[in-house]
Structure 1
Amino acid sequence: MTEITISEEDFRKFREYFYRKTGIQFEASKRYFVDKRLVERIEATDSGHFRNYFMMLRFDAKGDELQTLVNLMTVNETYFFREEYQFQCLVNSMLGEIVRRKKDDSPIRIWSVPSSSGEEPYSIAIYLLEHWPGIEKWDVEIISSDIDTDIITRARRGHYSPRSVQHLPPRLLQKYFVPCVGGYQISDDLRDAVEFTRVNLMEAADVRAYRGFDVIFCRNLLIYYDDMSRRQAAETFFDALNPGGFICLGHSESMSRISSLFRVRKFPEAIVYQKPLGDL
């Protein structure tokens, strides 16, 4: 059997195609990672070599093979209460401003993207229940989205390894989780509190429905984008937020270096970015 190889030209073609479809740019340092997964899919689809596979990928009208590749190529590693200071900022600073501006009893809407395997949106739900008195008065909708359909299925299942929950206080682990084979199962009430959806931030048709959010958590995603894709994502988030809404990025990310659409807000707990109130 002839060994399948990915040439430099093959890698370049695939990298450009994947970037156009997802906004994710693979550096040369990721070459082994990309080649390995491409070979896996060439073998799985009996394409024989890259040229046949790439043609099939491009002309797959349903996009099933591209989605399979996205699921293989994206990295999903996180844990509960990651960068907890931003959750503290949410309950101590951001939500106070948001509820003061609410002119009706419409729900507070929070968007977590990417969802990964669900640790972030479930952490938000736990933090609100534990630390925000307003949860007794206000309805809160938590939407969490990812481009990876396999990871969304895992998030909905809510089954986590001991490593994922290692930073949770024992009291919360006992309160919101049930021990099971291989780890812990999150409670049904928390699973029902989060809606998981599939979205590609680079596809206008995907993001058009995402509007009216008060807070967005987008942490450690933009580091995988190039400058153009970051600006496009920033514009998407700007349109998705209500005037005065906030966006939280990862600790190594800065909206100020991406877009001038947002203003910097320095709260005691964290630096976040706000859509100006004048944009009604």
Structure 2
Amino acid sequence: MAISPEDAPPGLTPQDYAEFCDFLRDRTGLSYTEAKRYYVDRRVAARMAAAGVERFPDYLNLLRFQASGEELQTLVNLMTVNETYFFREKYQFDCLVHDVLDEVVQGRPKGERLRIWSAGCSTGEEPYSIAIMLLEYWSKVDDYEIELYASDIDSKVLARAQEGVYEERALQMLPAELREKYFSPVGSGRWQIMQELRESIDFSRINIVEPEDVRPFRDIDVIFCRNLLIYFDDLGRREAAAMFFDALAPCGFIALGHSESMSRMSSLYIPRRFPDAILYQKPRAK
């Protein structure tokens, strides 16, 4: 018998909470401490009510063994925070077009492939910002075959990213002339990014802790993974750093969020200080 959200069970027992956090960490990399207990309790209770499951062990079994994985995906969508905007931490995009890409393509013949991956892309503001920065500020943009990849574990935000419709808040840092150039109004206070840019980015649902999901990502020249690993524990961050290292091409770069430091996660990378930002580089194989 289905139960309503107001009749949802009380918070998880300490054992249930620990078991759930271990499960979620193993499946997604997301790590929640006791400090997030209320946040987790509410969301699990809401999903148990929606699924018509009264006992937590039964719900955990549903998450573990449901063939379609639909309930786990729905819960993950509910657990993740996806607030961002265009040109967020723009100094890293400036670094990309003023310094990093010129170094990446040095000695590379024109017409060759250049691959950039936005990992944890949320609703798409980051990969679209990269695309606009390339078109506007990188003089060699027409010299190479640029492939832009964007991924997230949340299927709902990916659908929004592919639709490319944004409200004023998401566009607050975007210069007016770029809004007029790359967006069209689609209603009161809502703008849609041009179709050519929507079609230029390969969006995919990726769980970065699943080897099968990340295996296709190889020889990436630049990875943006900003404010994603803050949701992982120390072990999860080290594992993610190693995965990104394997995904990068030799001498490729990764950009992290302003509060993140690769030196706390891995010794595999070389810190590179540019005028606009610090990025981390995979050294050339010896």
Smaller-chain TM-score range? Answer: over 0.9
Of all paired residues, the percent bearing the same amino acid is: 51
The correspondence for 2:227, drawn from 197, 212, 220, is 220
Q: Residues of 1 paired with 2:271 and 2:179: CA distance?
A: 35
- In the other structure, the counterpart of 1:53 is 59
- In the other structure, the counterpart of 1:229 is 236
Q: Residues of 2 paired with 1:213 and 1:132: CA distance?
A: 18
How many residue pairs get matched? 279
Instruction: Tell me the CA shift for residue 3 of structure 1.
Output: 4.6
- In the other structure, the counterpart of 2:209 is 202
What runs of 5+ residues in structure 1 fail to find an aligned partner? none
Instruction: Tell me the CA shift for residue 260 of structure 1.
Output: 0.7
Residue 77 (structure 1) aligned with residue 80 (structure 2): no
- In the other structure, the counterpart of 2:271 is 264
- In the other structure, the counterpart of 1:152 is 158
Kindly provide the CA deviation profile for residues 188-241 of structure 1, in whole angstroms up to 9, marking residues without a partner as x. Answer: 111011110111111111111110110000001111111111111111111111
Instruction: Tell me the CA shift for residue 63 of structure 1.
Output: 1.7
Q: Once superposed, what is the RMSD of the aligned Cα atoms?
A: 1.3
**Secondary structure at the residue paired with 1:136?**
coil
- In the other structure, the counterpart of 2:136 is 130
Q: Residues of 1 paired with 2:228 and 2:149: CA distance?
A: 17
- Tell me the TM-score normalized by structure 2: 0.94
Q: Residues of 1 paired with 2:154 and 2:192: CA distance?
A: 21
- In the other structure, the counterpart of 2:93 is 87
Q: Residues of 2 paired with 1:3 and 1:119: CA distance?
A: 35
Instruction: Tell me the CA shift for residue 45 of structure 1.
Output: 1.1
One-letter amino acid matched to 1:150: K
Instruction: Tell me the CA shift for residue 105 of structure 1.
Output: 3.1
- Tell me the TM-score normalized by structure 1: 0.96
What runs of 5+ residues in structure 2 fail to find an aligned partner? none
Instruction: Tell me the CA shift for residue 48 of structure 1.
Output: 1.7
Say whether the 8 Å CA contact 2:8–2:46 is kept in structure 1: no
Q: Residues of 2 paired with 1:243 and 1:101: CA distance?
A: 14
Instruction: Tell me the CA shift for residue 51 of structure 1.
Output: 2.2
One-letter amino acid matched to 1:267: F
**Secondary structure at the residue paired with 1:62?**
coil
Instruction: Tell me the CA shift for residue 59 of structure 1.
Output: 1.6
Kindly provide the CA deviation profile for residues 77-99 of structure 1, in whole angstroms up to 9, marking residues without a partner as x. Answer: 11000010111111111111111
**Secondary structure at the residue paired with 2:158?**
helix
**Secondary structure at the residue paired with 1:164?**
helix
Instruction: Tell me the CA shift for residue 103 of structure 1.
Output: 4.9
Residue 4 (structure 1) aligned with residue 4 (structure 2): no
- In the other structure, the counterpart of 1:245 is 252
* Structure 1 residue runs of 4 or more that deviate by more than 4 Å after TM superposition: none
**Secondary structure at the residue paired with 1:134?**
coil
Change (3 A) 1:45 1:166: same
- In the other structure, the counterpart of 1:107 is 113
